[in-house]
């Protein structure tokens, strides 16, 4: 999966190919200053709700590769450790990846999970 503070792209990969599911972080109309450098602007519970939705999308995953450009990936892994030890145990790697194209993401997934020629469902 690829994640930043605005969006998550979850890819379920198997021998037959892969599918993609996009999740958007909640957007509040009220702008507030973050408490720290790694907290996004918005409501304090937005990040937890966003991570909860990601956890639901990953519930059936056997192995999880977390990639992304910012601190969101580390915050997500910490969320898993605090709220879902089962998901935390399935995270196989966390890797810094800026904003890859779809083709670059497919290549990354293929390399990590040894899947040849994935087909979009």
CATH class of domain segment(s) 2-32+40-113: alpha beta
Q: pLDDT, tens digit, for every residue of 35-60?
A: 555 555 556 688 899 999 999 999 99
How far is the C-alpha of 4 from the C-alpha of 17, rounded, in Å? 24
Q: How far from 93 is each of 2, 34, 64, 66, 74, CA to CA, in Å?
A: 12, 28, 7, 6, 11
For residue 121, give both structure tokens: 């469902």
**pLDDT at residue number 105:** 81
pTM over 0.85? The answer is: no
Q: pLDDT, tens digit, for every residue of 9-29?
A: 988 876 666 677 788 887 653
What does the domain layout of the chain look like in residue ranges?
Answer: 2-32+40-113
């Amino acid at each position: 999966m690829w994640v930043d503070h605005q969006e998550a792209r979850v890819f379920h990969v198997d021998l037959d190919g892969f599918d993609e599911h996009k999740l958007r972080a909640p957007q509040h109309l009220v702008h507030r200053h973050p408490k720290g450098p790694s907290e996004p602007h918005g409501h304090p519970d937005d990040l937890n709700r966003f991570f909860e939705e990601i956890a639901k999308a990953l519930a059936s995953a056997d192995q999880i590769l977390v990639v992304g450009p910012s601190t969101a990936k580390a915050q997500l892994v910490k969320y898993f450790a605090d709220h879902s030890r089962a998901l935390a145990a399935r995270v196989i790697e966390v890797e810094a990846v800026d904003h890859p194209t779809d083709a670059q993401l497919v290549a990354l997934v293929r390399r990590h999970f040894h899947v040849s020629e994935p087909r979009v469902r």
